[in-house]
Amino acid sequence: MKLKLGFYKKFLLLLYVLLVAVDWGTKFIVKNTFFYGESREVVGNFFRLTYVENPYSLFSIKLSSNFPYVWFSIAVILVIFVIFLFEKNRWHNFIYILFMAGATGNLIDRLKYDRVVDFFDFGINNHLRWPVFNFADSYITIGMILLVISIIIDMLKNRKIKDRTLNEEEIAEEENKELENA
């Protein structure tokens, strides 16, 4: 079976490369212009750029001390890429590109530094702060939000189809009853 990539999938693969480049480029800039732990205010104390390195997963979630982050990332990227190749739904393909770009961006860091460079720092004060993250984490998070929205939309569509089918069956039953009574 020969696989043909249409214009849209080629465009998404180009977007994938661009997203990975943005992630890697911003990490490179932060790593080479900040001291480790340095924080610079962008929007007061609410949004800062803070250079940290994260040896764990998304948003500093520790899975285990010997979790194979690199191999897991490679497997996830490969599985999602295969799904992407065969998926026909454009929306889902866009979501898969976000997942792959995020996983690839953080994989590059793990291969190069054995940890991930993070720098987006949001919070209200020094005690109420979201874990520091990067573009790759954002791609994965946005992909998850879009996937949940997609699932909800699909469920609602299926429910409407089911409701419409039930209504058509009820109408047909009533017509049959009327014919029997006549």
Residue 12 has a pLDDT of 97
In the predicted structure, residue 18 carries a pLDDT above the cut 80: yes
User: Pick from 150, 16, 122: which is nearest to 8 by CA?
Assistant: 16
Partners of 40 in the β-ladder: 49
pLDDT band at residue 126, thresholds of 50, 70 and 90?
Answer: confident
Say which of 23, 109, 118, 121 is annotated catalytic: 118
Partners of 52 in the β-ladder: 118
In the predicted structure, residue 67 carries a pLDDT above the cut 90: no
Residue 76 has a pLDDT of 95
Residue 159 has a pLDDT of 75
Residue 59 has a pLDDT of 58
Residue 171 has a pLDDT of 66
Query: For residue range 32-65, what is the model confidence (pLDDT) as tens digits?
Result: 999 999 999 999 999 999 999 988 766 566 666 6
Residue 162 has a pLDDT of 63
Residue 58 has a pLDDT of 61
Using DSSP's 3-state secondary structure scheme, residue 42 falls into strand
Positive or negative: CA dihedral 61, 123, 96, 10:
negative
Both tokens assigned to 35 = 């001291």
Say which of 23, 109, 121, 137 is annotated catalytic: 137
Residue 182 has a pLDDT of 62
Q: Which of 52-66, 129-143, 156-170 shows the highest mean pLDDT? A: 129-143
Residue 3 has a pLDDT of 72
Q: Give the mean pLDDT of the chain.
A: 88
Mean pLDDT, range 150-161, rounded to an integer: 83
Question: Is residue 99 within 8 Å of residue 139, measured between CB atoms?
Answer: yes
How many CB atoms within 10 Å of residue 102?
A: 28
Residues 6 or more apart whose CB falls under 8 angstroms from that of 114 comprise 55
114 is catalytic: no
137 is catalytic: yes
